Chain A
Amino acid sequence: MIRAERKPVSEIARMLTGKKNVLVVGCKTCVAIGHAGGEKEVSELISALKIVSARDGHGWKFEQTVVERQCEKEWVRPIEDKIVSADAVVSLACGLGAQTIADMYPAKQVYPGVNTMFLGVPEEQGVFVEKCLACGECVMFETGGICPVARCAKSMRNGACGGSADGKCEVNLDTDCAWYMIYERLKLQGRLDLIMKISEPKDWAKSHAGGRRKIVRKDLLIQPTDRTGTEVKK
């Protein structure tokens, strides 16, 4: 899931200087599961901001709500009245949620209440680690189900590098070397021949380096046709 961390309260407070009616919107999906922007975190932020407001005389009035998925317009539309009546909207969803509201209501000032960090999984209670870089070209079929792009500090396609020692990464000795793990995994699976295979350089154009990406599922499009059956652009 998408992992995020709440911005410092003081930073959010600075964004809200001069505003009066503030709507704080959480999201019940990734950021709720990741304890960054669900119902509890929305309440926590407002409680902290109320103290700042009372102490510094900002006079902020808060409204709070949490939507099922802030990245989808269908779930944002029902809270339109609240968005329209607020001077400022603080989104505790990931960057997708904040931009969905900002794009739907371009005249409204929407502020991010979290820093969106990475695609990760909970490793243990309270610990979240990055495991996918959304690079656009998954190679885990030949790396034993371990992603070298996200889990190797150098995103190496052929490893391990000379900085791997005792199964740890030279960039951070607390981090397991992804390529050491790949070796152990392939050994377990009897597929060590794959570790000898030299992989071609990665095509980063399929990642964000190639610009903003887009997926189109044509069968899901609602595309009218003319009498001859030719698709007509809407």
Chain B
Amino acid sequence: MNDKLKIVAFVCENHAMSAIRAASTAGESLPESIRIIEVPCTGRIETPQLLDAIGDGADAVAVIGCLEENCYHDVGSMLARGRVNRIKDIMKDISLEPERIEMINSASVSGAMLMMKLRQFESRVAAMPVLVLKEAIK
């Protein structure tokens, strides 16, 4: 794995964060490349924030929300999925790999499964070409 890999994870403070805490309590640790940004609801993350994470140097972005059928804020995860898909379209448009951004849903009791999905995501990102931004984003 690339030691310098950086993946920004926007994590909903409800079911998704509970899942991460539960997995940590059970002895699982987050992949090293993951930087967590806890948010009240994934439905409040706007598209510029997702793009700015890439623009500011992240190799990939994960948006981790509740299961859609059990979202703490009812439609938050659905809204987040729509925005993630919109960013995938923009990334395709500007010739970046759309797989650099993923929506991951998790129940609070599925910590181990969430950790596995994150490890798989990290492996997929590590296999991608290194994203070189030629100048610092101002």
Q: Do A and B come from one complex?
A: yes
A32-73: CB near B (< 8 Å → 1, else 0) gives 000000001001101110111111110101000000000000
Q: Is the CB of A57 within 8 A of B135?
A: yes
Complex partner residue of A51 from B47, B54, B138, CB under 8 angstroms? B54
Is the C-beta of B27 less than 8 angstroms from some C-beta in chain A?
no
Q: Which of A40, A52, A61: most chain B CB closer than 10 A?
A: A52
For chain A, the count of residues having a C-beta within 8 Å of the partner chain is 21
Q: Is the CB of B48 within 8 A of A44?
A: yes
Complex partner residue of B55 from A13, A54, A57, CB under 8 angstroms? A54
CB contacts between A and B, total, < 8 Å: 57
Is the C-beta of B1 less than 8 angstroms from some C-beta in chain A?
no
Is the C-beta of B25 less than 8 angstroms from some C-beta in chain A?
no
Q: Whole-angstrom distance between the alpha carbons of A59 and B133 in the complex?
A: 11
Is the C-beta of A163 less than 8 angstroms from some C-beta in chain B?
no
The majority secondary structure among interface residues of chain B is: loop
Q: Which of B30-38, B66-74, B89-97, B111-119 contacts A (4 or more CB under 8 A)?
A: B89-97
Q: Whole-angstrom distance between the alpha carbons of A47 and B131 in the complex?
A: 16
- Contact residues in B for A47 (Cβ distance below 8 Å): 47-48, 51-52, 55
A-B contact pairs, 20 of them (CB 8 A): A9-B90, A9-B93, A9-B94, A10-B94, A10-B95, A43-B48, A44-B90, A46-B48, A47-B47, A47-B52, A50-B55, A50-B137, A50-B138, A51-B51, A51-B54, A51-B55, A54-B134, A54-B135, A57-B134, A59-B135
